């Protein structure tokens, strides 16, 4: 009998922020295939004898390539196991959950998803930055910040983002923080636009800095703020100094 694969969002890092449904799925799984950004304390919730498989990315390098991750899940499910694919944040927000669900369905595997608290909203919130605010921004745009620099068909319209307004939340973009700010400013973003960067949101080591589009890279370098981090561009970022740490 073919098993089940459940894509579970582990939340932004604090193990307490996983959903009740996600925790129930984790506790009943025969196999847990987990990422680096999923809180390691959650693995203690797996049942005795469960197979724990680390497929996380370290220093920009995948410990296990995506094709192999898909193969592992399909193989275990076809053997009759109940599999949980544990992902940091939410599986369907830059988590490749949609791609994995497609591969599993194509292989005839039953697949379900349990959404998670995304770091794109949670990390700024816990640092005192609401991504929307009546007086600042009525909409928010989520964007990945790590597309390859040598792509000829880059899909992100930085100029469009610069002129769109609202809040821009950049995930996975610390390695190209300065370059991405330059793209936005070249596209018309005011260099004095507030920018907040929140590192390790929800974790005890959470840290944040506030600067401008023109100075944020230097400030992060001075404060030793690196990955994993969320970047918030827009006037809402200025609320970091108003609201402070809301953990």
Catalytic residue from among 40, 57, 186, 241:
57
If one counts every other C-beta atom within 10 angstroms of the C-beta of residue 224, the result is: 9
Catalytic residue from among 14, 30, 35, 90:
35
Cα separation, 7 vs 112, in Å, equals 6
The verdict on whether 172 is a catalytic residue reads yes
Whole-number Cα distances in Å, 224 to 176, 207, 209: 15, 10, 10
Got the DSSP string for 64-129?
A: S-HHHHHHHHHHHHHTT-EEEEEESB-TTSSSSHHHHHHHHHHTT-EEEEE----HHHHHHHHTT-
| Alpha helices, DSSP H, located in the chain | 20-28, 66-78, 97-106, 119-126, 158-164, 177-186, 216-223, 240-243
Cα separation, 37 vs 35, in Å, equals 6
The verdict on whether 35 is a catalytic residue reads yes
Region for residue 167 given its phi and psi (left: phi exceeds 0; alpha: psi -120 to 50; beta: otherwise):
beta
Catalytic residue from among 14, 30, 87, 172:
172
Q: How do strand 57-58 and strand 61-62 relate by DSSP bridges?
A: antiparallel
Residues labelled as active-site residues: 35, 57, 172
């Amino acid at each position: 009998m073919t098993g089940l694969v459940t894509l579970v969002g582990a939340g932004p890092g604090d193990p307490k922020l996983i959903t009740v449904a996600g925790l129930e799925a984790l506790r009943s799984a025969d196999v847990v295939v987990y990422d680096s950004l999923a809180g390691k304390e959650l693995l203690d919730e797996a049942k005795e004898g469960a197979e724990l498989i680390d497929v996380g990315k370290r220093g920009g390098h995948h410990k296990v390539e995506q094709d192999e991750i898909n193969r592992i899940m399909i193989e275990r499910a076809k053997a009759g196991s109940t599999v949980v694919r544990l992902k940091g944040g939410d599986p369907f927000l830059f988590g490749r959950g949609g791609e994995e669900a497609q591969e599993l369905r194509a292989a005839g595997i039953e697949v379900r998803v349990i959404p998670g608290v995304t770091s794109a909203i949670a990390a700024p919130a816990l640092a005192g930055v609401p991504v929307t605010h009546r007086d600042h921004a009525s909409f928010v745009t989520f964007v990945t910040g790590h597309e390859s620099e040598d792509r000829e068909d880059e899909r992100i319209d930085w100029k469009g983002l610069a002129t769109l307004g609202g809040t821009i939340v950049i995930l996975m973009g610390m390695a190209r923080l300065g370059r991405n700010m330059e793209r936005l400013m070249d596209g018309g973003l005011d260099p004095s636009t507030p920018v907040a960067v929140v590192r390790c949101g929800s974790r005890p080591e959470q840290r944040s800095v506030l600067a401008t589009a023109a100075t944020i890279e230097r400030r992060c370098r001075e404060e030793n703020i690196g990955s994993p981090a969320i970047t918030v561009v827009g006037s809402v970022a200025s609320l970091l100094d108003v609201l402070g740490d809301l953990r």
